[in-house]
Amino acid sequence: MTNPSDIVWHEQTVDRTAREANLGQRGAVIWFTGLSGCGKSTVANELDHQLNQFGRATVLLDGDNIRHGLCAPPGVLREEYSEEFANRFGLGFGAVDREENIRRIGSVAALMASAGLITLTAFVSPYRKDRDRVRKIIETSGAPGDFLEVFVDTPLAVCEARDPKGLYKKARAGEIKNFTGISDPYEAPPNPEVHLKGGDGATPTEQAAGVLAALVERGIIQPRA
Ligand SMILES: Nc1ncnc2c1ncn2[C@@H]1O[C@H](COP(=O)(O)OS(=O)(=O)O)[C@@H](OP(=O)(O)O)[C@H]1O
Ligand SMILES: Nc1ncnc2c1ncn2[C@@H]1O[C@H](COP(=O)(O)OP(=O)(O)O)[C@@H](O)[C@H]1O
């Protein structure tokens, strides 16, 4: 087994402050969480668009996309790798797999924020402990205030009625196991920095504007001149 002390951190000449100065902005992580279908991807995408129009350097990590690559399921990895490899590193939706999914994303988000990027993430991330761990990593590698949790609080009934991918229907029919909100838990954030109520008529643009206002209020971006 590898001894952790055999792996030594290498300091780099260009630090976060220099990268942020070049970009003229502060790196941060805006973490969207909520049920499947609550609007995470839509609102994060709209916010990404608004920030880019502002000239900010951003990146958007979306659960559906990341699960095609970095956090692919065993079935996808099997096409290119051995059965043993796919089973060992592929991720599904059991609690431990979700924990590893969020650990990997948290680590990537920390790297992106340290490169000075405003990093938007859209993952169900149903477990409080997993999200809190990411917060700790981001705030330890950066500073308190670098992590903003955005709870997209759309009622399950609304998400299920939307069902854009037909997943709720399959989950109700028992064709998908461990489906968040149906056969798996969602632990709501008790104190999110931004609490977006969904399903009450607010448009994605209005919801994104709410997050943008929080970013200005917290000094992550400067108000429009
Ligand atoms: N069992 C189960 N539970 C929840 N979601 C499921 C499941 N199976 C597939 N999907 C689809 O995968 C997307 C969620 O992936 P995430 O990486 O965000 O999930 S998690 O953070 O690890 O919980 C999620 O995407 P969104 O609908 O965009 O949230 C679903 O499309
Ligand atoms: N504020 C909103 N009002 C009405 N419909 C919305 C809103 N936000 C998202 N939607 C719709 O809800 C569905 C699910 O949104 P999506 O962003 O894919 O959710 P998630 O990423 O949380 O699964 C999509 O069809 C989207 O167009």
Q: Is residue 194 part of a domain?
A: yes
Among positive and negative, which fits the CA dihedral 205, 207, 213, 214? negative
Q: Is residue 65 part of a domain?
A: yes
* Residue with CA nearest ligand 2 atom 16: 39
Would you place residue 1 in the very low, low, confident or very high pLDDT band (cuts 50, 70, 90)? confident
Q: Which range marks the domain in which residue 30 is found?
A: 16-217
Q: What is the pLDDT of residue 146?
A: 97
Q: Is residue 24 part of a domain?
A: yes
**Domain harbouring 37, CATH code:** 3.40.50.300
Ligand 1 centroid to 89 CA: how many Å? Answer: 17
The whole-number average pLDDT for the span 54-81 is 96
Would you place residue 37 in the very low, low, confident or very high pLDDT band (cuts 50, 70, 90)? very high
Query: Scanning the structure block, which residue is given the tokens 């630090």?
Result: 15
Would you say residue 192 has pLDDT above 90?
A: yes
The whole-number average pLDDT for the span 117-140 is 98
Q: Is residue 157 part of a domain?
A: yes
Would you say residue 223 has pLDDT above 90?
A: no
Whether 125 sits among the annotated catalytic residues: the reply is: yes
Q: What is the pLDDT of residue 225?
A: 57
Q: Is residue 4 part of a domain?
A: no
Q: What angle do CA 55, 60, 63 make, to 5 degrees?
A: 170
Complex ipTM more than 0.90, yes or no = yes
**Distances from the Cα of 100 to the Cα of 20, 72, 103, 150, 152, angstroms:** 29, 12, 5, 21, 22
How many domains does the structure of the chain reveal?
1
Tell me which H or E stretch contains 197: strand 194-197
Residue among 31, 33, 35, 36 to mutate when testing ligand 1 (max atoms within 8 A of CB): 36
